[in-house]
């Protein structure tokens, strides 16, 4: 009586969390009735029972191998080897060979795994699909069996040495193409020494096992493809974050060529800038070469000399193929002479190609679809980062030119202003004779306007020096009470002073701190309300708990609307209220105040403002610990570049 057989098989696969902890278990329950029968007392031939039991055992082995594949990270080789060993145990004296068609070379078979005397010697070998029994089975998509393999095989010596005569080849094809485009996955071959055909039951066993192996390998290929896609996506995110860390063109390009070479397994990667469109020139910006050949940086050549690059520019898609070395200089030809495969990836921004990545391999391994997919993912963030870095460089250059112009203009304007001021002084003092009474008012207006222009020029010069970092500082202990008093005396309308009795000492440059406070006081007095007297208050307090001093400058003027924020402190920003008269100025006052405070480790803030009620700005500077009131400095000549009788009323 046949022994009872279970009609189901259950496998358990643990689910692990991010730190390796067990988070659950996946149970796979499979009905084996189609493979091993319904069990019970059904009559069956001995051979059929043996075949069914072996197929059931093989199926259990496949399920276990597939479950273990989850722990192996989806690698195909260990899974295939486990399946081949299962196939060898199907029948006595059988060798099992699993051969796949590589995605990159679909004209060959690659022996992926084998079990048994013949199959184990063939593992890792590659042979052409044409004129082979395996190739015929795969091409015709049907099982092929031969008992004269020593004569029919394309490798008879191998079969003779192993003493094999009979082979049954089961194709592994797919109804739907795999992600890499393959429909032919490969074939599984069973060999044995006896020169006789397999029986009907044995054929069913081998063919069904082959179908199971095909499904298992397809699943593994799909999983591996998914994991590689996830890896590519993560790589694209990492590259985007890495490139976003810098706006320096050279640093962005350096990171890009290295990242692209590593991501695609290229031996060399160069970034070529496209100037003048598809009929323009190519300029090599940087190159990374694993062999150290970084020749060609700065090399220029017309696009027309490289037809494949021209094709990539026109099509906006990657193009594969060799390079035209003839027009290149000798050192670049030497670096590229051993290159066997090249890929060109255009970097497109706003519908236009701005640059190309040129990737090369010296080994005989063409760039495949996955490498091109990786390049496509990289090209988006790469083009954006490259464009941003060039825009930033252009902005920096424009800012530098503007700063240089302001510096030059300020210097050039000071000479005629000095002459104008000198002649006005001579006229007022009567050196050319007494001035008529009707000149007094015009001379007063001219003198006021000349002083206003001097203040504007001084602000332009100071802003330019702050921008370029060419402003020197004489740091020393300073009592901010003295700075506040001097600023109040220098103002056109003396503001109120609220000062503490004890010294408030900071480490700073007296002249620069004076200019800082002068700017804010002049701002407060200039933006008064029509019909109301100008008013401002300077308050000072020490905050030992915060380790800082606070200077407050408050007015009862026009006030500011909400929402301006840091925009107030930008160069040349001016807020003009259409309901009030325009105040002369350059929009540099608050910018200068913020920059001078920053040079002293402090900051300037708009603490409060209300339209029609006024504003309050505050300056915060680090207190000098353990300092007492400094000895007063002897009066000296002010630095020529900072000399100004007052500060410009031009901050807003």
DSSP letters of 191-256? EESSSSPPPHHHHHHHHHHHHHHHHHHHHHHHHHHHHHHHHHHHHHHHHHHHHHT---HHHHHHHH
Per the CB < 8 A criterion, the answer to whether 272 and 264 are in contact is: no
Please give the domain boundaries of the chain with CATH numbers for all domains. Answer: 8-228 (3.30.450.40), 246-469 (3.30.450.40), 472-642 (3.30.565.10)
Nearest-angstrom CA–CA distance, 477 and 463: 25
Place of tokens 């970084």: 294
Per the CB < 8 A criterion, the answer to whether 548 and 621 are in contact is: yes
How many CB atoms are located within 10 Å of the residue 415 CB?
Answer: 9
Could you tell me the mean pLDDT of each successive run of 10 residues in the chain, 652 residues long?
50 64 66 49 50 58 51 68 89 90 84 88 86 86 84 64 81 82 86 88 88 86 80 78 82 88 90 88 90 82 90 91 83 86 91 90 86 85 84 80 72 77 80 80 81 77 76 89 91 86 93 91 83 88 93 90 82 73 75 91 92 91 76 46 42 48
Phi/psi at 554 (nearest 5 deg)? -120, 145
Q: What is the pLDDT of residue 503?
A: 93
CB neighbour class for 413 (10 Å; exposed up to 12, middle 13-18, buried from 19) = middle
CA R_g for the chain: 42
Q: What is the pLDDT of residue 600?
A: 92
Comparing CA positions, the residue from 503, 486, 516, 608 lying closest to residue 549 is 503
Residue 127 β-bridge partners: 109
Q: What is the pLDDT of residue 579?
A: 67
Q: What is the pLDDT of residue 71?
A: 42
Query: What is the layout of strands, in order, in the sheet containing 496-498?
Result: 496-498, 536-543, 548-555, 614-622, 603-610
Q: What is the pLDDT of residue 455?
A: 75
Tens of pLDDT, residues 145-161:
988 876 666 666 666 66
Q: What is the pLDDT of residue 481?
A: 94
Q: What is the pLDDT of residue 640?
A: 38
Kindly report whether the global pTM for this prediction surpasses the value 0.85. no
Contacts of 184 (CB under 8 A, 6+ apart): 101, 106, 138, 171, 172, 173, 174
Element (H, E) at 378: helix 369-429
């Amino acid at each position: 009586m046949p022994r009872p057989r279970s009609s189901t098989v259950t496998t358990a696969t643990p689910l692990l969390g991010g730190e390796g902890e067990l988070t659950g278990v996946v149970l796979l329950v499979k009905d084996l009735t189609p493979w091993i029968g319904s069990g019970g007392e059904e009559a069956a031939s001995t051979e059929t029972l043996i075949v069914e039991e072996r197929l059931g055992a093989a199926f259990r082995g496949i399920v276990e191998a597939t479950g273990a594949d989850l722990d192996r990270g989806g690698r195909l080789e260990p899974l295939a080897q486990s399946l081949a060993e299962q196939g060898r145990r199907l029948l006595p004296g059988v060798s099992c060979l699993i051969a796949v068609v590589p995605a990159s070379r679909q004209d060959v078979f690659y022996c992926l795994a084998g079990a048994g005397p013949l199959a184990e010697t063939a593992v890792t070998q590659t042979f052409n699909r044409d004129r082979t029994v395996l190739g015929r089975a795969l091409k015709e998509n049907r099982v092929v069996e031969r008992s004269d393999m020593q004569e029919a095989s394309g490798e008879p010596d191998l079969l003779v040495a192993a003493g094999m005569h009979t082979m049954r080849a089961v194709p592994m094809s797919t109804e739907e193409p795999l992600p890499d485009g393959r429909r032919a996955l490969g074939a599984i071959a069973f060999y044995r020494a006896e020169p006789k055909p397999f029986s009907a039951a044995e054929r069913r066993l081998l063919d069904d096992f082959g179908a199971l192996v095909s499904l298992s390998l397809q699943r593994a290929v799909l999983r591996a493809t998914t994991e590689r896609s996830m890896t590519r996506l993560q790589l694209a995110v990492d590259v985007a974050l890495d490139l976003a860390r810098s706006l320096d063109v050279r640093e962005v390009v350096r990171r890009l060529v290295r990242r692209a070479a590593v991501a695609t397994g290229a031996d060399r990667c160069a970034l070529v800038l496209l100037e003048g469109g598809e009929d323009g020139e190519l300029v090599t910006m940087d190159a990374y070469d694993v062999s150290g050949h970084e020749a060609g940086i700065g090399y220029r050549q017309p696009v027309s000399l490289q037809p494949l690059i021209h094709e990539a520019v026109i099509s906006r898609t990657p193009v594969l193929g060799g390079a035209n070395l003839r027009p290149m200089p000798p050192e670049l030809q030497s670096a590229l002479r051993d290159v066997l495969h090249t890929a060109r990836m255009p970097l497109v921004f706003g519908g236009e190609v701005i640059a190309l990545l040129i990737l090369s391999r010296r080994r005989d391994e063409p760039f495949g679809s996955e490498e091109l997919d990786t390049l496509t993912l990289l090209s988006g963030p790469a083009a954006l980062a490259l464009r941003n870095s060039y825009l930033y460089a252009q902005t920096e250059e424009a800012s530098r030119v503007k700063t240089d112009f302001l510096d030059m203009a300020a210097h050039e304007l000071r000479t005629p202003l000095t002459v104008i001021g000198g002649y006005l002084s001579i006229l007022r003092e009567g050196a050319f004779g007494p001035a008529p009474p009707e000149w007094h008012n015009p001379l007063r207006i001219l003198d006021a306007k000349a002083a206003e222009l001097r203040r504007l020029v001084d602000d332009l010069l100071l802003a330019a020096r702050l921008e370029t970092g060419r402003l020197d500082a004489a740091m020393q202990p300073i009592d901010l009470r003295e700075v506040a008093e001097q600023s109040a005396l220098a103002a056109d309308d003396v503001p109120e002073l609220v000062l503490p009795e004890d010294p408030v000492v900071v480490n700073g440059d007296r002249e620069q701190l004076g200019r800082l406070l002068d700017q804010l006081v002049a701002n407060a007095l200039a933006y008064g309300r029509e019909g109301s007297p100008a008013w401002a208050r300077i308050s000072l307090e020490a905050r030992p708990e915060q380790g800082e001093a606070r200077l407050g400058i408050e007015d009862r003027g026009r006030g500011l609307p909400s929402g301006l924020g840091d925009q107030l402190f930008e160069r040349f920003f001016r807020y003009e209220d259409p309901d009030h008269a325009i105040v002369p100025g350059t929009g540099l006052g608050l910018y200068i105040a913020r920059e001078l405070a920053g040079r002293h480790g402090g900051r300037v803030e708009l603490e409060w403002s209300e339209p029609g009620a006024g504003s309050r700005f505050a300056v915060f500077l680090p207190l000098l610990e353990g300092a007492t009131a400094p000895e007063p400095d002897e009066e000296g000549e002010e630095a020529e570049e900072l000399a100004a009788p007052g500060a410009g009323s031009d901050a807003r």
